[in-house]
Each structure stands twice: as structure tokens, then as C-alpha cells.
């Protein structure tokens, strides 16, 4: 072989080696990165190449898949009663991605979850099984009551209902809402619909139930009472407190009054203070319990941590490094304290469940395409927040408040109900901002167990209602009552 041929052969061999090396590198090193690249249309074609599994509520699918003629993305998602269930399903869009259960369980629903493969042959051949189903814990009657309760009054707000015994989420509504089917495809019109939703000042895409936190106002007095009783600050809920009304905020010239006449709250017992939502008693209880013990109790109920159900929630916050006036203000749910509606539902549920808080969960089980269960949720405790004795004392106060106090709007004939309404001031100038309205409650069965606890949050900023009519008892109690009734009628 002459010199020229030898050099040519070596050069071509080097090129072949480089080509093989590059192919090998792409196949074994870059493959995963390229596969996950959002600009890789093959992913979209695969994801929307066939019908998906469904999200199930009350034994019926609330999602579906329909063919898209003339598109390489062969199917797109459909939603039944989309706006009512959007806080649960989220959306699956060919152009906008996926959120909530559609996002968290996309592998199950698309059929790519390895647990769905029928056997070794499927794994070997790369055949993708049909998608599995995600069966939720939602009670359709409770969800309807929550959603229709909010929309009937034109409210921006949220409702969360839990089963205190298990942590099952029975309802999760957020308004204003949106129809995920309106932008499930990739047409220009659907893209414009999504853009309008994102620009809407009322934030319909926001899940107010779990992703937004607000000052909880007087509903937090439930937790203040629990902390004060648990740590011995208060030992008898019927004994006069000796706390004056209005209340002189420590290290300040400010005096905090009450919605009811101050004379009605002056030196009131904690039970009476809960009944009429007297600020003075709870401000003093928080101050004397102390910031560390107040925060410790709040964290045992779930504050200062995200929840995963399996969707991630925002953390509710009981702040650190509060001074004495700020600590006192947390006693009435004000200051820099914030809570999601889910968190306040957990507080009510923990009290109703004898002091044990259960981890909230939204998915009951995951079924394969053959309906066999491949994953089943088991109730798990978040932890014991307070003793059973303390919980019973707080129940006594909440039930008295529902019978003869500010929560009478939630009473259900023949049913023991415990409840607490609240309003929460917010904004840089509280005189200009309309307060938030809250309501939390639970209902008991004949055996004393509680199958449902509810938190209702309403932002009345744009509602056609006078400021004097804004209150958790007026706005939230009818919704909470309807949700509790819906669960009780199902025999939960």
C-alpha cells in the first residue's frame, strides 16, 4: 500500500471512530438530556399519541381524551365540569404543560410508569401500556357544595374539607376558576385563552386552597386556645380571665378592642371569649404562652412546612423572632402570621380528631389499565398536636360557639357542630382594605367521631356587599354547613 492510500485509510478510520464515539456518547450519555428537552417534539408526539388514563371522582372519570384530526399530536385532554375540579386535576395542555394531579401523575396517566408494564416482554420491546387511573379522595357532593357555595355569592375564595380521621381531602374548591379544556390543545385560539387567564387580575389559575396564604384572623384563636391549654397558661376555660377590654398591647400605647361591646369581653373566661371572639383574652393568652411555645404548637398542626398530598402546597407561616406586641397579635391571627385554607382545615380536623393531625392526601389509589390497584394510600398521622384532654376542651368551646355564639349559622339539627368564624385585617392600610372572611368547622357523628372538617376563605374585595356585612359567620357559615351536610348525607 502506497503512502497516500495509507494516509487516506487512517483518516477515514479516524472519521469512522469519531462517528462511532459520538453516536455512543449520544446514546449513553446525552440520551436522557435530549429526551427531556422541552423542544424535543418527539416527547409531545409520544405524550399525546394515544388516549390517557383518567382522574376519577366518586367512581366516575372527570377527564377524557379525544382525537385531534390532522395533527401529529393525535389526542388532547377533555374535562367534565372542568372549572369545579380544576384545583384538583390541574391542566394538561399540548402547549402549556401540566399541573396538579395531571402533572404529578403524568407517568401513570400516560402509561409510561414502569409499574404498568405487563411483563418482561413489554419492557424489552418498549411497548407502552395503556395509561392507569388516578382515583381521588374527593366526595363529589361535597365538592359541588363547596364550589357552588363560592360561585353563588361571586366570591374570590377557597374551601377545603378533610376527613379528620384519615386526612382524606373530601373537597378542594378555588374561585374564580377556569376550564382546563379551553386550552388543552395547541391552536392559536387556545394559546390566547391561556394568556388571558394568566393576565386576569382575579388570578383564576391560582389555587387559593393550597398555594396562597393569608392572615387567618380569629379562626386562629382555636390554635391559641389549644396552645394556652396545652402549656398551662390557661387551666380552666370557665374561670374569669381578669383580662381587660380593650386590651393594652404590651410595649405600646395601642389598645385593641372587640367587635362586640368591650363590656361583653371584659375579664371574660376563655369559653366566653371564644363564643364572642373576644380579642383581649386571646392576645393575652398568646403573650403569656410565649412565642416559642406558640410556634411549637403551630408547627405540630403543620405550620412552617410544605405538605405533599402528593401535590405540593405552600407553607403556612408562624414567624420567628417576634417581639411581645407581635406575639400577642398572633393570638388573634393577625400580625405577620399567614395560613392556607388547607392549613386551617388541618387545625380544625386535628381538634376534632382528639388532638392528632392526619396527613392530608388527595389520591386514594392508582389503578392499572386492568383496574388492578398498583398503589393504595394509607392514613398516616402528621403527629399529635395537643393532648386529647386539650382537644376536648377546645371542642367544648367551639361547640358552644356554634350553639350560642358567633358561629350559629353552621348549626345542623341533630348534629353536633363545632365552629369558629373570623375576619382578618390585611394590607398596608387596614382601613382601606376590606377584611378577609374565614370560617372553620367540624361535624360529629353519634359516636363522637368527626367525618368532616371544613375551612372556608373569602376575599370580599370586589363583592357587592357592605363592609359591615363582611364576616366569616355571614359569608362562610352557609358554605361550611352545606359541605358538612353533603358529607354527612353520604354516611361517611
Catalytic residues: 218
Say how far apart CA 346 and CA 161 lie, in whole Å.
9
Please state, as a whole number, how many other Cβ atoms lie within 10 Å of the Cβ of residue 25: 11
Distances in whole angstroms, Cα of residue 159 to Cα of each of 308, 337, 463, 465:
18, 20, 17, 20
The Cα 387–Cα 390 span in angstroms is 5
For residue 418, give the H/E element and its range. strand 416-424
Q: Identify any residues that bridge with 416 across adjacent strands, giving them in sequence order.
A: 444
137 grid coordinates: 379522595
User: What is the enclosing helix (H) or strand (E) of 215?
Assistant: none
Q: How far is CA 169 from the centre of its chain?
A: 9
**Cell numbers at residue 316, please?**
403556612
Question: What are the residues facing 57 on neighbouring strands?
Answer: 60
* Distance separating alpha carbons of residues 393 and 351, to the nearest angstrom: 9
The CA-atom distances, in angstroms, between 163 and each of 124, 172, 346, 402, 435 are 43, 12, 10, 20, 29
The DSSP string of 316-328 is PB--SS--HHHHH
Starting at the edge strand that comes first in sequence, how are the strands of the sheet with 55-57 ordered? 60-61, 55-57, 133-136, 363-367, 373-376
224 touches 282 (CB < 8 A): yes
Beta-carbon neighbour count of residue 49 at 10 Å? 15
Three cell numbers, residue 170: 373530601
Amino acid at each position: 500500500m502506497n503512502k497516500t492510500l495509507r494516509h487516506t485509510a487512517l483518516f477515514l478510520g479516524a472519521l469512522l471512530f469519531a462517528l462511532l464515539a459520538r453516536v455512543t456518547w449520544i446514546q449513553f450519555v446525552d440520551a436522557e438530556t435530549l429526551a427531556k428537552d422541552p423542544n424535543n417534539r418527539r416527547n409531545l408526539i409520544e405524550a399525546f399519541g394515544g388516549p390517557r388514563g383518567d382522574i376519577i371522582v366518586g367512581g366516575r372519570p372527570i377527564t377524557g381524551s379525544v382525537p385531534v384530526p390532522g395533527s401529529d399530536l393525535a389526542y388532547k385532554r377533555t374535562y367534565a365540569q372542568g372549572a369545579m375540579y380544576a384545583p384538583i386535576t390541574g391542566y394538561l395542555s399540548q402547549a402549556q404543560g401540566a399541573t396538579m394531579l395531571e402533572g404529578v401523575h403524568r407517568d401513570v396517566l400516560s402509561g409510561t410508569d414502569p409499574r404498568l408494564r405487563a411483563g418482561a416482554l413489554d419492557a424489552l420491546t418498549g411497548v407502552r401500556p395503556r395509561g392507569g387511573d388516578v382515583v381521588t379522595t374527593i366526595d363529589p357532593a361535597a365538592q359541588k357544595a363547596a364550589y357552588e357555595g363560592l360561585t353563588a355569592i361571586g366570591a374570590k375564595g377557597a374551601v377545603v374539607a378533610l376527613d379528620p380521621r384519615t386526612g382524606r381531602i373530601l373537597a378542594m374548591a378555588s374561585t374564580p376558576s377556569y376550564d382546563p379544556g379551553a386550552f388543552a390543545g395547541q391552536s392559536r385560539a387556545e394559546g390566547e385563552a391561556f394568556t388571558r387567564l394568566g393576565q386576569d387580575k382575579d388570578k383564576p389559575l391560582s389555587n387559593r386552597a393550597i398555594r396562597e396564604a393569608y392572615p387567618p384572623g380569629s379562626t386562629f384563636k382555636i390554635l391559641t386556645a389549644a396552645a394556652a391549654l396545652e402549656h398551662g397558661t390557661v387551666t380552666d376555660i370557665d374561670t374569669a380571665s381578669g383580662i381587660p377590654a380593650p386590651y393594652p398591647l404590651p410595649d405600646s400605647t395601642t389598645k385593641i378592642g372587640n367587635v362586640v361591646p368591650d363590656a361583653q369581653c371584659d375579664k371574660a373566661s376563655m369559653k366566653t371569649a371564644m363564643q364572642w371572639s373576644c380579642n383581649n383574652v386571646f392576645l393575652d393568652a398568646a403573650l403569656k404562652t410565649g412565642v416559642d411555645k406558640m410556634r411549637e404548637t403551630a408547627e405540630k398542626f403543620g405550620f412552617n412546612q410544605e405538605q405533599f398530598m402528593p401535590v405540593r402546597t405552600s407553607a403556612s407561616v408562624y414567624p420567628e423572632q417576634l417581639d411581645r406586641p407581635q406575639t400577642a397579635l398572633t393570638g388573634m391571627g393577625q400580625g405577620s402570621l399567614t395560613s392556607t385554607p388547607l392549613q386551617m382545615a388541618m387545625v380544625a380536623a386535628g381538634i376534632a380528631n382528639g388532638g392528632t393531625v392526619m396527613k392530608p392526601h388527595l389520591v386514594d389509589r392508582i389503578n392499572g389499565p386492568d383496574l388492578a390497584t398498583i398503589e393504595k394510600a394509607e392514613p398516616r398521622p402528621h403527629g399529635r398536636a395537643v393532648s386529647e384532654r386539650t382537644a376536648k376542651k377546645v371542642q367544648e368551646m367551639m361547640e358552644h360557639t356554634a350553639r350560642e355564639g358567633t358561629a350559629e349559622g353552621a348549626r345542623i339539627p341533630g348534629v353536633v357542630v363545632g365552629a369558629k368564624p373570623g375576619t382578618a385585617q390585611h394590607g398596608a392600610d387596614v382601613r382601606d382594605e376590606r377584611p378577609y372572611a374565614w370560617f372553620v368547622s367540624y361535624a360529629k357523628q353519634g359516636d363522637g367521631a368527626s367525618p368532616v372538617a371544613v375551612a372556608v376563605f373569602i376575599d370580599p374585595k370586589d363583592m357587592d356587599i357592605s363592609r359591615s356585612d363582611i364576616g366569616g359567620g355571614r359569608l362562610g357559615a352557609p358554605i361550611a354547613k352545606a359541605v358538612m351536610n353533603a358529607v354527612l348525607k353520604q354516611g361517611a
